[in-house]
Chain A
Amino acid sequence: MRDVSMGQYYPTKSPVHKMDARAKLVFVILYIVMLFLVPSLDNYLGGGGRLGEYMVKSGLSFGVVTLFLLVAIIFSKVPLMKVLKSVKAVVYLVIITAVIMLLFYSGKANHVYATWGIITISLEGIVSAIVMAVRLFLLVMGPALLSLTTTPVELTDGIESLLSPLKLIKIPVHDIAIIMSIALRLIPTMIEETDKITNAQKARLAEFDDGNVFKKAKAMIPVLVPLLTSSFRRADELAYAMDSRCYGGAKNRTRMRVMRLSYRDAIALVVIAAVFFAVLTFVYDYFGVATFISEWAYTLL
């Protein structure tokens, strides 16, 4: 059985692994914001923009973000395939959405190639489908790199630390964090237990694979009920164990691992700020960079 509680963590020693979890979390949020700075084609054309300009702007923006992600992957020493694997879960979803977008592009299309009834294939449709697919893939890969380079424990600690200002408005941040970490810790135990109960029921000729959905759901009841009761017992025992190890909530509690920001996080901040600024420059055409490049591209064509 794969260890679920470790998530997809890829254990190795790299500068990205060593970064502060809080910094990584903030950077991932910035990264996601960056992806959404590029407007959709619909909105862009509606705002009076030209298709060619849009292609240049989005191409440059996503290009720079992809480059950044690649650099991050290289520095993290995580095999590229591991990161690409994270896309596997959404790949069908993205392809189906892209195809629908391509065939039923709803905005105003000036470059129509073919029409059959309600289906239209246009350059606009193709461009917006590609932009959406690229955006979604990048959206999945960034956080995937975070979970590949950060253990769940570090993540919960990071979230606890980042959310700690909420303590001021009486939100029990520490309790939420410990609930999260215990939940993570109990997942493999629960899976093991489910396996055990299922096997015990199978040994007594219970069937889980036959019949329709309702029958299957009904067959799960003899598994779920003992699972639930045993979890309550488990929770009781865990509470005793925690109590006897002097657990008393967040009060006076210290941590063995102290999170410290280091020069790595500073360097990463500079890099991500530069990328962010680059995307802004391309999208909002600061200094006329995007215009210049698109003019240049036109003359080239």
Chain B
Amino acid sequence: MQEQIAKKIKIFYEKSIALKNVVILLPLCYYIKMSFIEFDNVSYTYAIDSDREVKAVKNLSLSIEEGDFVALVGHNGSGKSTVAKLMNGLLVPQSGVITVDGVNTTDKKRLFDVRKNVGVVFQNPDNQMVATIIEDDVAFGPENLGYPPEEIRQRVDWALKSVNMYEYREGSPFRLSGGQKQRVAIAGVLAIKPRVMVLDESTSMLDPVGKKEIMDIVYKLNKQEKMTVVMITHFMDEAAMADKIFVMEDGELVRGGGREVLSDPILAKCGLGYPPAVEIANKLRSGGMQVGDVYTTDELVEEICRLL
């Protein structure tokens, strides 16, 4: 029922943008409590040649609330990276509607509002750096938004401190390890102070140490700073840290829900496999042990300790 009302109001909202009559609608949107990020029946097609195209995202509907820790999983080519780019208006859907905090991402005039709210950290840290000095690179976002120099300085210092890279601020990014570089990239996004951070396979080029560094920071941001995190990955151990999991295959959302998705057989069907803890728990169960629902290694350890 509520969903239907939401949909109707959204249609009205779309029309009212044309009428420039947003004032009445903002309170209404809050009243029915729209999700922070909403995908409604979104499709996106890449044109490779004039006659060849790839449907990267097909009729995708999902919603992400503020404060969520979401994992979007799927194997290569499942369209999950396209979703990241759709979330902050780098790409706009050919059909369907995406709203971020009530703003349609196709609204060119408010594009910066969308991008201020949703920051994306990409896969390759080398391809995200703009400047040759770390603090200059972190300052890039706030500089673009036209903040006064003192505020940019504050934001840069805060962002670098929250990724533990403050002492490197005057150095060059090229001597850093992959994990450190990616932390700088995260700081660059943090300095914009977005409400949602999207990590588009941001750990896939890192070694295990670098991966852990990034995951710790992301976890801390979500739990302490209450930042919404959307983690796009094909590593199930990373996905196990999330509270909400969406599984994509071939451009479609095949499963979405709480952590129980992590032990859903659909994962195996999508070629993803289970998180290591789930796998071990399954083996233990087949061996006759009464293991409860566990998803992360820490949980598994605790569960086994409880049983012993």
Interface segment, one of A215-223, A233-241, A285-293: A233-241
A246 and B148: CB pair below 8 A?
no
Main secondary structure on A side of the interface with B = helix
B95 proximal to A (CB < 8 A): no
B119-169 residues with Cβ-Cβ distance < 8 A to A are 119-120, 122, 124, 126-133, 135-136, 139-149, 152-153, 156
A94 proximal to B (CB < 8 A): no
B132 and A244: CB pair below 8 A?
no
Task: Provide the residues of chain B in CB contact with A277, threshold 8 Å.
Answer: none
Closest Cβ of chain B to A96, distance in Å, is 36
B241 proximal to A (CB < 8 A): no
B172 proximal to A (CB < 8 A): yes
0/1 string, A223-248, CB within 8 A of B gives 1: 00000000000100110111111111
A153 and B149: CB pair below 8 A?
no
Q: How far is the CA of A116 from the CA of B118 in the complex (A)?
A: 80
Task: Provide the residues of chain A in CB contact with B153, threshold 8 Å.
Answer: 256
A152 and B132: CB pair below 8 A?
yes
Which residue of chain A has the shortest Cβ distance to B189 in the bound complex? Answer: A245
A252 proximal to B (CB < 8 A): yes
0/1 string, B99-132, CB within 8 A of A gives 1: 0000000000000100110011010101111111
Q: How far is the CA of A238 from the CA of B125 in the complex (A)?
A: 10
A116-163 residues with Cβ-Cβ distance < 8 A to B are 151-153
Q: How far is the CA of A189 from the CA of B124 in the complex (A)?
A: 12
Task: Provide the residues of chain B in CB contact with A185, threshold 8 Å.
Answer: 129-132
B174 proximal to A (CB < 8 A): yes
A173 proximal to B (CB < 8 A): no
A212 proximal to B (CB < 8 A): no
B52 proximal to A (CB < 8 A): no
Q: How far is the CA of A258 from the CA of B147 in the complex (A)?
A: 12
Q: How far is the CA of A11 from the CA of B85 in the complex (A)?
A: 39
A170 proximal to B (CB < 8 A): no
A241 and B128: CB pair below 8 A?
yes
With A5-B172, A256-B149, A256-B156 already in contact, the answer to whether A246 and B127 are too (CB < 8 A) is no
Determine which of B122, B131, B172 lies in contact with A3 in the assembled complex, contact meaning CB atoms within 8 Å: B172
B174 and A5: CB pair below 8 A?
yes
A32 proximal to B (CB < 8 A): no
Task: Provide the residues of chain B in CB contact with A253, threshold 8 Å.
Answer: 143-144, 146
Determine which of B122, B142, B144, B152 lies in contact with A237 in the assembled complex, contact meaning CB atoms within 8 Å: B122
Task: Provide the residues of chain B in CB contact with A40, threshold 8 Å.
Answer: none
Task: Provide the residues of chain B in CB contact with A244, threshold 8 Å.
Answer: 88, 90, 115, 119-120
Q: How far is the CA of A62 from the CA of B267 in the complex (A)?
A: 78
A3 and B175: CB pair below 8 A?
yes
Task: Provide the residues of chain A in CB contact with B143, threshold 8 Å.
Answer: 253-256
A181 proximal to B (CB < 8 A): yes
B124 and A237: CB pair below 8 A?
yes
Which residue of chain B has the shortest Cβ distance to A184 in the bound complex? Answer: B132
Q: How far is the CA of A240 from the CA of B121 in the complex (A)?
A: 10
Closest Cβ of chain A to B193, distance in Å, is 12
Task: Provide the residues of chain A in CB contact with B148, threshold 8 Å.
Answer: 254
With A240-B90, A258-B149 already in contact, the answer to whether A234 and B136 are too (CB < 8 A) is no
With A3-B174, A240-B122, A244-B88 already in contact, the answer to whether A254 and B128 are too (CB < 8 A) is no
Q: Which residues of B contact A (CB under 8 A)?
A: 85, 88, 90, 112, 115-116, 119-120, 122, 124, 126-133, 135-136, 139-149, 152-153, 156, 172, 174-175, 188-189, 192
For the complex of A and B, the 6 pairs showing the least CB-CB separation, nearest first, are: A237-B127, A252-B146, A256-B139, A241-B128, A245-B141, A256-B152
Q: Which residues of A contact B (CB under 8 A)?
A: 3, 5-6, 151-153, 181-182, 184-185, 188-189, 234, 237-238, 240-248, 252-258
Q: List 24 A-B contacts (CB under 8 A).
A: A3-B174, A5-B132, A6-B132, A182-B130, A184-B132, A234-B127, A238-B127, A238-B130, A241-B128, A242-B130, A243-B90, A244-B88, A245-B115, A246-B141, A246-B192, A247-B144, A252-B146, A253-B144, A254-B147, A255-B149, A256-B136, A256-B143, A256-B152, A256-B156
Given contacts A234-B127, A247-B140, A256-B142, 16 further A-B contacts (CB under 8 A): A151-B133, A181-B132, A185-B129, A185-B132, A234-B126, A237-B124, A237-B128, A241-B130, A243-B90, A245-B115, A245-B144, A246-B116, A254-B148, A254-B152, A256-B152, A257-B136
